[in-house]
Structure 1
Amino acid sequence: MPFEWKYERSVPERRPPGHQPAAPRYSLRWTAPRSTLVSAYFGMQAPPGAASAAGHIGRMRGFLAEAHGPQAQEVMRCTDEAGLDNTIVVAYWTDPGTYAHWLETSGFRPWFDDPARLTGDIGYWFEALVVPYDRHETIYSAPGYRIGLARTPDAEIVPITTNGYFGAARDRLPLSAIDTLESPSGGLFPPTADHASRGAHLCALLPHNATVLRSGQFWEGAGREQLDDYMNALQPKLLRGMAYLVEQRERTGCLSLRIMTNLNEDGSPRAETSVYAAFLSLNQLEAWAESHDTHLEIYRHAIAMNRLHKEKREVVTWHELFVPGMGNLFEYVNCHPRTGILPYARVMAPVGKG
């Protein structure tokens, strides 16, 4: 029996009475209990052609191969808001103790903290989410494709019916049964700060009940008809939606957004992208999803394609969502001041640093 963490509900669910989903969806479970999940992103940013992406990938793979390393990992790339190339390795643990041992004993921390990282035109960032199980949820459009947390051992992708209505993601968060997951900011977007981040090692505190989403699209093997539909109809809608989130940060609560291309083992691009975005609150993400045209046109198109193709839908979509509590720190070393959540978060230098 797959493990799931459940509470007796005291906060009303968003599911409409009698709701039956129009299309099948799936979610992630494990065959044994999990208490805490770790999703850690290790990034290198550099001017185009200034640094070896393969070098960063090889270095991080070496660190992650040490004792207590992750149970799954992937490699991606993106261009950030400053036009810099970012090479990203994401690693997943389902045991926080194993992650803590790796962080303490591997070569990563001494390398990352070395003052040598503070010079030159290359920056490094480390965004680690350490989140209790009841503060995460997942959804997949098909059960056969594994990505992200679904690649960890003992994971199962199971059918669900908590989908196909606005508020479903919240209902899939176990903690939402007893917690409204309100932001202490009340939705008030923090003022922008231009931190002196070049030559500095800065830590940024992720706000309590922020929402971090990784949403992906995989189209390898899709036939001509569905591939053309994705490339020429759905993907442009997705890009318009992402642009709106960034351009209207105060309204959408978007603290950070990266549109990433997944890479194969040899470093070549895969037929897959994923968007990594951090929001000040789940409420603000939901408000965009429920009411704004840039999301509604994505939603309506996806529903139409699912109804048309049903189980023969060849483009897989999925997401994993976290609502972290207090205490998650993101770190930035020699990065430009617009990197990640730097402009909008409470920022401090590590003890003993600048």
Structure 2
Amino acid sequence: MESAIPAHLETPRTRHKRVPDDYQPPYPSFVARYKPGVSRVVMAYFGVQHRGAVSAAATEALAEISRLFAGEGGPTHCDRAHYVDQAGHANIVSVAYWDDIARFDAWFAPAREAWTGASRDGIGTFIEVLRPAVARHETLFSSLGRPEGVAAIAEGMSGEVQEHAYWGGMRDRIPLSQTDPMSPCGNPELIRDGARLRVKAHDNLCLIRSGQDWSDTEASERKLYLDDVEPVLREGMDFLRDDGLGIGCYANRYMQVLSADGKASEKSYGQSWWRSLAALERWAESHPTHVKIFGAAMKYLSTLGPSAKLRLYHEVTVAAADEQFFEYLNCHPKTGMLAAVETAVA
């Protein structure tokens, strides 16, 4: 049994784990392992927002970001997903990951100008970037063999880890939690730069990407997931999207991953911005919407046992103030972190 925290990031604890040292989790889970020389990673969300059918301008923008990703200094891994937001706008988000900050910085300056530097006919564009120290970040996977998200740029995966299957495991997997409560400080502020709107968030903003992959499931398991689990998950995701601000969730997207040809795949993920890790933990542990999700998932997994082929994963980051960048052009006021400063936008 390994610790989720890599050996080179272990420090004497001043804040204790939620479980004793001899805790044995009831089922296996795994985390991504980066090369020891990787001190920071980059996760960058490039969004296109439009109403109705995909326009020529949206198609052109998507082709442009693909070209930028494929160019010099581009990401090690990227994927693309789609969702319809609370204002009825379709959003297609291309997510890219780097493990080399210098390479990203050289790539990002011209890419930013290309993406949010000029208006496009009838569409909005946005950029949301975190570049956290690896000590501020954790991942978790229910199975091996198919890394998703930021784990796709890791060197590999761990063996079975101890810190999971209990409330507080998410925090205990973040190396910084050994000594720091990671409490938020300050409030989001809006910065206007011509037509561009930037959001300056605050220290210890939290991001979670939590995904599901049912592509390996067979008929009966697929029906059980799509009929009994997915609707409950969607209900919780819709609550966070529409009413999350009251519990510390600035914005939530429930995304369907797109395949290389642009068609919907059998993968989805929720992606949300939170005021703090503590706010995310409170929702996960006690809010009725997540209690219902957890109950549906446990019933599903207890019914199928080890034969379950559904793959689950997540990545969680608690970012310092200087590790964040949010910029929006011609997007509605509830888009991403604009929702945190909506009155100022309006």
Give TM-score scaled by structure 1 length. Answer: 0.88
1:334 corresponds to which residue? 330
Tell me if structure 1 keeps the 8 A contact 2:143–2:311: yes
> How far apart, CA to CA, are the structure 2 residues paired with 1:314 and 1:156?
19
C-alpha change, 1:161 and 1:306, in structure 2 (3 Å) is farther
> How far apart, CA to CA, are the structure 2 residues paired with 1:8 and 1:55?
52
Amino acid at match of 2:197: L
> How far apart, CA to CA, are the structure 1 residues paired with 2:272 and 2:51?
22
User: How many Å apart are 1:50 and its aligned residue?
Assistant: 5.1
Amino acid at match of 1:124: T
Greater displacement, 288-297 / 301-310: 301-310
- Alignment counterpart, residue 316 of structure 2, candidates 303, 314, 321: 321
- Alignment counterpart, residue 55 of structure 2, candidates 51, 58, 69: 51
2:41 corresponds to which residue? 37
Q: CA RMSD in A?
A: 2.6
1:295 corresponds to which residue? 290
Aligned to 2:75, what secondary structure does the other structure show?
Answer: coil
Q: How does 1:95-106 map to 2 (within 5 A)?
A: 95-104=100-109
Amino acid at match of 1:226: E
2:112 corresponds to which residue? 109
User: How many Å apart are 1:120 and its aligned residue?
Assistant: 3.6
Amino acid at match of 1:269: A
Question: Residues 220-266 of structure 1: CA distance to partner in whole angstroms, max 9, x if unpaired?
Answer: 12011211111111111111212232344344201011111111111
More helix by share: 2
> How far apart, CA to CA, are the structure 2 residues paired with 1:309 and 1:25?
17
User: How many Å apart are 1:311 and its aligned residue?
Assistant: 3.5
Tell me if structure 1 keeps the 8 A contact 2:48–2:62: no
User: How many Å apart are 1:75 and its aligned residue?
Assistant: 1.0
> How far apart, CA to CA, are the structure 2 residues paired with 1:114 and 1:247?
30
User: How many Å apart are 1:179 and its aligned residue?
Assistant: 0.2
> How far apart, CA to CA, are the structure 2 residues paired with 1:212 and 1:346?
19
Question: Residues 96-129 of structure 1: CA distance to partner in whole angstroms, max 9, x if unpaired?
Answer: 111111113xx423323533x1x64210000011
Q: How does 1:1-354 map to 2 (within 5 A)?
A: 5-16=9-20, 18-49=22-53, 51-52=55-56, 53-104=58-109, 107-115=110-118, 117=119, 120-152=121-153, 154-184=155-185, 200-327=195-322, 328-345=324-341
> How far apart, CA to CA, are the structure 2 residues paired with 1:113 and 1:54?
16
Amino acid at match of 2:339: P
Greater displacement, 259-268 / 293-302: 293-302
User: How many Å apart are 1:31 and its aligned residue?
Assistant: 3.7
For structure 1, which runs of at least 5 residues remain unmatched after alignment?
Answer: 350-354
> How far apart, CA to CA, are the structure 2 residues paired with 1:158 and 1:206?
36
C-alpha change, 1:288 and 1:109, in structure 2 (3 Å) is closer
Aligned to 2:202, what secondary structure does the other structure show?
Answer: coil
Tell me if structure 2 keeps the 8 A contact 1:205–1:345: no
C-alpha change, 1:347 and 1:9, in structure 2 (3 Å) is farther
Give TM-score scaled by structure 2 length. Answer: 0.90
Runs of 4+ in 1 over 6 A off after TM superposition: 346-349
Paired-residue identity, %: 29
The count of aligned residue pairs is 339
Question: Residues 56-109 of structure 1: CA distance to partner in whole angstroms, max 9, x if unpaired?
Answer: 3321110111111110000111111211111111000011111111113xx423
For structure 2, which runs of at least 5 residues remain unmatched after alignment?
Answer: none
Aligned to 1:343, what secondary structure does the other structure show?
Answer: helix
Aligned to 1:23, what secondary structure does the other structure show?
Answer: coil
Question: Residues 163-221 of structure 1: CA distance to partner in whole angstroms, max 9, x if unpaired?
Answer: 11001000000000000011125xxx879x9x999x82011012211110001100012
